[in-house]
Amino acid sequence: MKRTLSLLIVFFTTLTSCSQPLSQLEQIKQRGELIVLSRYSPTTYHTKGEHFSGLEYDLARQFAKRLGVKLKIVIPDNLREMIHLLELNRADLAAAGLTITPNREKHIRFGPVYQEVTQQLVYRQGNKRPKNLTALHNGLLEVVADSSHIEQLQQHRQEIPKLRWTTNKLLDSSHLLELLQLEMIDYTIADSNEVTALQNHLPELRVAFDISEPQSLAWAMPLSEDNSLYDEVTRFFEDITASGSLDRLIEKYYGHVRRFDYVDTRAIYRKLLTELPKYQSLFEQAADRYGHDWRLLAAIAYQESHWNPEAVSNTGVKGLMMITSATAKEMNIDDREDPEQSIEAGAAYLDMLRHRLPERIREPDKTWLALAAYNIGLGHLEDARILTENNGQNPDRWPDVKNHLPLLSKKKWYRQTRHGYARGREPVRYIENIRRYYDILLYDKQNNTVDPAPNQNELDSLQQNHPPAAL
């Protein structure tokens, strides 16, 4: 009797546990796939060369790895469809640079804030800069349909009844910025992070003024009484904030583009047409030999010489890659002004510097640290790495080391180092410039537009066959 009773208890306990529905988090793990809605734009998710890139993509990839599942990115046609898919529980979350607004909070649930932006009125260089929203009556203001920008404009309309705009249901804000560059519209509204990310590619854009206070970005999830996914997302952002991983990702995407140089940007776009074709095959050949991206080598050469093979500095370095006589001897070349020899020497030297750094250093930090050594020397770089470690930061991370390189010009600090004084700010600017040029070279040079979003079948294929961008 006792045994029968025990068996019945086990049976009913098992039956009860089987009948309980799985939580959102358990469903994702059982499915083995995290379904994430995003936007195809430079600030969220896009192809960079042959790889995927974007702040939202990197964050979503880290979160999927944390859960031990695959990542599936889905690109809805527009913002309204994105929110509707969340309402219908057709996706787990949206990682799309969504602004938290009171209206959206009625339909979806937001996770922790990870970035702040302001909404900005953008116009084109050469046109008169409007002083405020009341000065827009003579121009066409076009904004993304169902966006937070419209909610903000509706608030302004309470004070400016004559304020008018048109909405676009087909294009997102990055493509409206392109229309502005092409003079097809007069004004648009965009978030500050997107303007920053695109200004090097669309150099005629100008910010007139902010139309909002700083606003919060967050991931969005379906409204639910089930807190399992929400709690895990919260823990994820707490962990990457505490570890510095979030700051490093923001630095990766925005650290090199905050300082915009209009003249310099216009100049490189001209030379993309006139000078680069003369040397592109040489960059490609050297890149194949040493495992570099040819566009990175081209970006280094542009920073060094503006693709002038006869360039000579006041310190005696020469050629496309501005090779010193000592490096030329070490790399076994005899004519620094010969483009092929210069590119070969520069690629080989960068490869050698990378291999001299500790093997444990991961990309893209290893490349940026090697480029710092290319500029300032391996000894001074090692001094900066030691200072970084002594100050409790990571000597294998470029964002940490770049904060300590400028200390090499201060007596208090360089007296502590083996190699002494160095102009430590120079490699920081040097790498920021190279990263900007590299981004420009990755951009679509032929039509000067953001790559169109692939359809979902193409995205699924790309996600299976292409890794994330390293640089």
Active site residues: 304
| Cis preceding linkage at 364, omega within 30 | yes
Instruction: With beta carbons less than 8 A apart as the criterion, state whether 214 and 118 touch.
Output: yes
Bridging pattern class, strands 93-99 and 33-37: parallel
Residue 144 pairs in a beta bridge with: 168
Q: For residue 299, give the amino acid letter.
A: A
Instruction: With beta carbons less than 8 A apart as the criterion, state whether 386 and 417 touch.
Output: yes
The residue to which tokens 């969220």 are assigned: 44
Report how many helices (DSSP H) and strands (DSSP E) the chain contains, helices first.
20, 12
DSSP secondary structure of 253-285? HHTTTSS--HHHHHHHHHHHHHTHHHHHHHHHH
Structure tokens at 96: 């799309």
Structure tokens at 330: 């070490």
Question: How many angstroms separate the CA atoms of 407 and 424, rounded?
Answer: 7
Question: How many angstroms separate the CA atoms of 360 and 255, rounded?
Answer: 23
The residue to which tokens 């790309």 are assigned: 462
Question: How many angstroms separate the CA atoms of 251 and 114, rounded?
Answer: 13
Instruction: Give, as one character, the DSSP assignment of residue 292.
Output: -
Question: How many angstroms separate the CA atoms of 134 and 374, rounded?
Answer: 52
Structure tokens at 172: 């997102």
Count the residues in the chain: 471
Q: Is 151 exposed, middle or buried (0-12, 13-18, 19+ CB in 10 A)?
A: middle
DSSP secondary structure of 141-182? EEEETTSHHHHHHHHHHTT-TT---EEESS--HHHHHHHHHT
DSSP secondary structure of 382-448? HHHHHHHHHTTS-TT-HHHHHTTGGGGGSHHHHTTSSS----THHHHHHHHHHHHHHHHHHS-TTT-
The Cα-based distances of 267 to 132, 198, 273, 306 in angstroms read: 31, 17, 10, 9
